[in-house]
Each structure stands twice: as structure tokens, then as C-alpha cells.
Amino acid sequence: MLVTRDEAQQLFRRWDEHWLRFGFGYWVVRRRDSATPIGFCGIKVMQLNESDVVNLFYRFDPAVWGHGLASEAASAVIGWAAQNIPGRALIARIRPQNVASQRVAIHAGLARAEHLDTLGEDGVDWIFVPTSGL
């Protein structure tokens, strides 16, 4: 959770640096009929078991939860990645207790890959991969 303006600026810089380095990252998500952001969705290069992968990320305003928007955005990002960076393995790291995020991943075409589960920075991460596998 961001608390200060400085934290937000640092986060933006990290996201911007990723875009400059790799040519992709996180997109702002808006409804088709509005300029107001409702969330973020995209991919970021990271390491999983000493291999480079792209991690699918989505975070939405709670006011829009439950309408399929995160699943739609995640599906679009997965499709973009398959077309534009097909050589990079895609994953989603999800906390075991985050059932809603797991549903988003499944609706977007991902499946749990228990053999890849790992300890993340602040707890266990369940790993989800495209149903075609990793």
C-alpha cells in the first residue's frame, strides 16, 4: 500500500524504467466509455526458480470488483504477451488466501502449477501458468 507521495513517485519510476528497458509493463485500465482509471494490468520481468519469466499483475478499484473487468484485462495482456513476446514464459504469482485473484487467473486461461509454488517476498506464492504449460 502506498502511503506517501514519495512512495508513489518511486513506484512510478520503477514501472517507467521497466517500460524503457523491456518495451512493456503495466497498463492503466479504463472502461471504454470513461477516462477514469479503474486499475492496472500488465506484466513484469522477474525471476522464478532462476529463470526469467513475466509475471502477470492486476490490481483494480474495489468498486469495480465482481464485474469481470480484471479477467478481461488479464486475458488481453496474456494475448498480447503470446503475440509480442512468445519466447517469455508467463506466470501469475497469487497468495493462497486470495481466492478472487485465483478466479481471475483461471478465467483468463491460467491454471495452478503446484510444482512451481515458491516462497515470495512476503509469503507463499501459488504459481499459475497458461493452460498450455510452462
At 88-107, the pLDDT tens digits run 999 999 999 999 999 999 99
The CATH architecture that domain 5-130 belongs to is: 3-Layer(aba) Sandwich (3.40)
pLDDT digits (tens, 9 = 90+) for 59-86: 999 999 999 999 999 999 999 999 999 9
Whole-structure pTM value: 0.89
Instruction: Report the percentage of the chain scoring pLDDT > 70.
Output: 98
CB 35 within 8 A of CB 42: no
pLDDT confidence of residue 26: 95
The DSSP secondary structure of 18-86, one letter per residue, reads HHHHHS--EEEEE-TT--SEEEEEEEEEEEETTEEEEEEEEEE-GGGTTSSHHHHHHHHHHHHHHHH-T
Q: How far apart are CA 74 and CA 54, in angstroms?
A: 13
Q: How many Cβ atoms from other residues are within 10 Å of residue 113's Cβ?
A: 16
59 near 40, Cβ under 8 Å?
yes
pLDDT of 133 strictly over 60: no
